[in-house]
Structure 1
Amino acid sequence: MVFSNNDEGLINKKLPKELLLRIFSFLDIVTLCRCAQISKAWNILALDGSNWQRIDLFNFQTDVEGRVVENISKRCGGFLRKLSLRGCIGVGDSSLKTFAQNCRNIEHLNLNGCTKITDSTCYSLSRFCSKLKHIQNYCHELVSLNLQSCSRITDEGVVQICRGCHRLQALCLSGCSNLTDASLTALGLNCPRLQILEAARCSHLTDAGFTLLARNCHELEKMDLEECILITDSTLIQLSIHCPQLQALSLSHCELITDDGILHLSNSTCGHERLRVLELDNCLLITDVALEHLENCRGLERLELYDCQQVTRAGIKRMRAQLPHVKVHAYFAPVTPPTAVAGSGQRLCRCCVIL
């Protein structure tokens, strides 16, 4: 595209800026850069951020350095929606931090082959790019991923992660409230090395999902299932059978768990040999019978029993006689005073004990 100064000036006079920008929006980045060299007016038009919503730098991968990405981010700002840095081995964490700070509306990002990036880039993207939907398809070496409170994450995203990250060992999904058993199924079928799963407040997960997970992920060591309100003793039975490495388990607010589930857990290999921490806060069906079962867990170090209303001081005392090293955190409602005392203006207090 070659114009004389007169031709270029005539176009600028005949066509409004909005129409010229529209024309420029159809050009690839090479042509845009060439147009930017025609004149000062076209430089402004060609480098307008609205023309740089989708950028693929694969054809220039050997030439692209960090400063190129930084300059692009400053030019495009909030306009940029899609960027491919596939094969750009010269781009590192520092440049991508600047990019993340400037391009907060980015939705698609391809970092395949960017060998210089580390966890720092993941932190920058998670902190600044809340609209990011698609990132790096090939993360075969990924072992740890924290998606805590990413409330817009759905099963589709988790399934894709699991299919591409077979070496995953630790996954935090706590607060991802839209997830269902489809995510647990994907984990079970694709991530056999999983050791840590945090799924607190994922209230749609059920026994069916955890059954498949337990039957395939035998290396599980830590699970946070707080407020997974649909699970029952069936989940504990499957964990007892298939997950002998289990060391820490949170079942707080899982109100369908009963003494029978604790019986299976305490009689299992993990109960006898591995279990160190068990959280049962607000498990309303748990009684002193569960504490008797837990006497089999010789390695137990900490037990949480806040608001377990059917557990008594006597029951805790009997268990600690067998397991004196266990720290038990419990809550007991204060004894209601006589009416005359209650009406005298004195305050009633909660009574927490650490035994």
Structure 2
Amino acid sequence: MELVMYCKQEQANLPKERTFAQNCRNIEVLNLNGCTKITDSTCLSLSKFCSKLKQLDLTSCVSITNHSLKALSDGCRMLEMLNLSWCDQITRDGIEALARGCAGLRALFLRGCTQLDDGALKHLQKHCPELTTINMQACTQITDEGLVSLCRGCHKLQILCISGCSNVTDASLTALGLNCPQLKILEAARCSHVTDAGFTVLARNCHELEKMDLEECILVTDNTLVQLSIHCPRLQALSLSHCELITDDGIRALSNSTCGQERLTVVELDNCPLITDVTLEHLKSCHRLERIELYDCQQVTRAGIKRIRAQLPDIKVHAYFAPVTPPPSVHGGGQRLCRCCIIL
């Protein structure tokens, strides 16, 4: 039996944690997202009475500490999904306790858990081989040491978010490529140290890739797009915003590939200064394309957008063109005042 409870912060008269847990012993899915008054006592009650719990969302429950994870490890060993995003009191000790007791964990969300370091990932690598999804967005202490260790122990990884992990380099991408061939989604925005070398290893080994966010991976060039076009035929969505070295040639390789002509639905190219209308000509052959982002692409014109819309009438093109600067007043004159200012 599966029971689902959604807890909203505005609900003032919530039952006490112990009463709820005692009366809902068969609960498997519990969403406490945004319940900021939740404390460790909630998880202690869940541990004692709700041994069948499989999915628990504690997003933004900011009072949660390592004590909660130790309790869940003891009493909720069937746990498969845990969301601890923005629970910023969690440290490696809590993750160690969780990993030891919940070896069947498949999905772990740790966005904004800024105290976590490489040691936490080493515990996951050692105890949680079933892990398929992990989100570490903005976990700024994570480095290659932890990620390489994670990849070597969690070969079933399919979804990985390391956006904002600014210390990551090609060593992590190489480890990911060599150990996690089932990878489908990679979010690596603002990882400014990764290069074509790392993405080449990744593309040549992870042929199941469907979505990639490489925003602000500023060292990436057309060579990465060439590798993706050759080795990743399932690619559907690609963000290259602020990748300022990308040119029309890279988009041409992508457009002419199997993924470009049969799968690609979203391409984000905001702030790519070398992109021109030629890119839009190439993208005309991507018949499944649904959306293109082109903000601040100075060499893209309205005429180019009009042509691709004629070819792909259902496509959404998001772009911005600064209004024409009006000529100076022929009368010269001093400062103009609005009517309100005149009245005052």
TM-score by length of 1: 0.66
Q: Which moved more, 1:128-137 or 1:138-147?
A: 128-137
1: CA distance, partners of 2:209 / 2:192: 21
C-alpha deviation, 1:104, in angstroms: 5.2
Question: Is 1:130 matched with 2:119?
Answer: no
Superposed CA RMSD: 3.7
Cross-structure match for 2:237 = 248
Cross-structure match for 1:312 = 301
2: CA distance, partners of 1:314 / 1:80: 57
Cross-structure match for 2:313 = 324
Question: Is 1:265 matched with 2:250?
Answer: no
C-alpha deviation, 1:337, in angstroms: 1.0
Structure 2: give runs of 5+ residues left out of the alignment: 1-45, 49-64, 337-344
Distance change in 2, residues 1:213/1:247 (3 Å): same
Distance change in 2, residues 1:328/1:179 (3 Å): same
8 A contact 1:90–1:116 mirrored in 2:
no
- Report Cα offsets for 1:299-336 as digits up to 9, x if no partner: 00000000000000001111111111110000111111
Cross-structure match for 2:166 = 177
2: CA distance, partners of 1:157 / 1:116: 19
Distance change in 2, residues 1:203/1:166 (3 Å): same
Cross-structure match for 1:114 = 101
Distance change in 2, residues 1:211/1:110 (3 Å): same
User: 1:273-292, aligned counterparts within 5 Å?
Assistant: 273-292=262-281
Look up the SS of the partner of 2:320 in the other structure: strand
Cross-structure match for 1:15 = none
Cross-structure match for 1:229 = 218
Cross-structure match for 2:55 = none
Question: Is 1:335 matched with 2:324?
Answer: yes
C-alpha deviation, 1:340, in angstroms: 1.8
Which letter does structure 2 place at the counterpart of 1:216? N
C-alpha deviation, 1:181, in angstroms: 0.2
Question: What count of residue pairs does the alignment treat as equivalent?
Answer: 268
Which letter does structure 2 place at the counterpart of 1:269? T
Question: Is 1:199 matched with 2:188?
Answer: yes
8 A contact 1:174–1:199 mirrored in 2:
yes
1: CA distance, partners of 2:253 / 2:106: 39
- Report Cα offsets for 1:174-233 as digits up to 9, x if no partner: 000000000000000000000000000000000000000000000000000000000000
Which letter does structure 2 place at the counterpart of 1:244? P
8 A contact 1:223–1:249 mirrored in 2:
yes
Question: Is 1:164 matched with 2:153?
Answer: yes
8 A contact 2:236–2:259 mirrored in 1:
yes
Cross-structure match for 1:214 = 203
8 A contact 1:89–1:116 mirrored in 2:
no
Distance change in 2, residues 1:281/1:223 (3 Å): same
TM-score by length of 2: 0.68
Structure with the greater alpha carbon radius of gyration: 1
8 A contact 2:114–2:141 mirrored in 1:
no
Structure 1: give runs of 5+ residues left out of the alignment: 1-64, 68-78, 347-355
C-alpha deviation, 1:84, in angstroms: 8.7
8 A contact 1:66–1:92 mirrored in 2:
no
2: CA distance, partners of 1:116 / 1:248: 32
8 A contact 1:106–1:129 mirrored in 2:
no
Distance change in 2, residues 1:275/1:319 (3 Å): same
Distance change in 2, residues 1:131/1:241 (3 Å): closer
Look up the SS of the partner of 1:197 in the other structure: strand
8 A contact 2:103–2:130 mirrored in 1:
no
2: CA distance, partners of 1:316 / 1:126: 37
C-alpha deviation, 1:345, in angstroms: 6.5
1: CA distance, partners of 2:168 / 2:253: 27
8 A contact 2:113–2:139 mirrored in 1:
no
Distance change in 2, residues 1:117/1:217 (3 Å): closer
Larger proportion of helix: 1
Identity of aligned residues (%): 65
Cross-structure match for 1:147 = 136
